Amino acid sequence: MANSKLTVNGKEVTLPVLEGVSLQFALRDDLGLTGTKFGCGEHQCGACTVLLDGAPVRSCTTHAGDAVGRKVTTIEGLSSLAKGSSSRHPLQDAWAELQVPQCGYCQSGQLMEAAAFLTKNAQPSESDIRQAMEGHICRCGTYNQIVKAIQLAASRISGGA
């Protein structure tokens, strides 16, 4: 077992990287960051999505060793991506305002995917949003509210509402 350094939510951390350990379990078990949820374990549902150097990855199938020397952002660090003085990311505010979560289980992965998406497409159409988010499963079916929240956040990020 070797100790490896990576940056998680803006802080350099050292953790043991074991052969075959997923990034998800390293984050949850070694660092106590439990906002990243275990859904399917097979790269299918999106509940475990985190950002690796700003790009969304499914942490359940990403090896912890692949994150060594890189920047990982989890739901606990999403607010650090906010521009301006807000303590939360505009997506978090929109999610709460529009009451998106039902059970909430998939929400951290949904938010992380949406945050990465909005950095690439600041003024997305509804179709763009649905296409970007189609790999995420919401067991409660709040897809329409998710789209509305992303639209609201996008308008706020680009200087609208």
Give the predicted TM-score (pTM) of the model: 0.93
With tokens 């859904």, the residue in question is: 39
Where is 118: in which H helix or E strand? helix 107-120
Model confidence pLDDT, tens digit, residues 69-106: 999 999 999 998 877 656 899 999 999 999 998 888 99
Which tens digits make up the pLDDT trace of 11-43? 999 988 667 899 999 999 999 999 999 998 898
Is 1.10.150.120 the CATH number for 81-157?
A: yes
Which CATH code is given to the segment(s) 2-77?
A: 3.10.20.30
Q: What are phi and psi of 56, to 5 degrees?
A: -70, 135
Hey, do 2-77 and 81-157 end up sharing a CATH topology, with the first three levels equal? Answer: no
Please say if the pLDDT value at position 1 is more than 60. Answer: no
pLDDT of amino acid 19: 73
Residue 158: is its pLDDT beyond 90? Answer: no
As a whole number, mean pLDDT of residues 45-68 equals 96
Express as a percent the part of the chain with pLDDT over 90: 79
> 115, 103, 106, 105: which is closest to 149 by C-alpha?
115
Percent of the chain exceeding pLDDT 70 equals 94
Domain boundaries defined on the chain: 2-77, 81-157
pLDDT band of residue 126 (cuts 50, 70, 90) is: very high
pLDDT at 27: 96
What mean pLDDT value characterizes the chain? Answer: 92
Tokens of 111: 């938010």
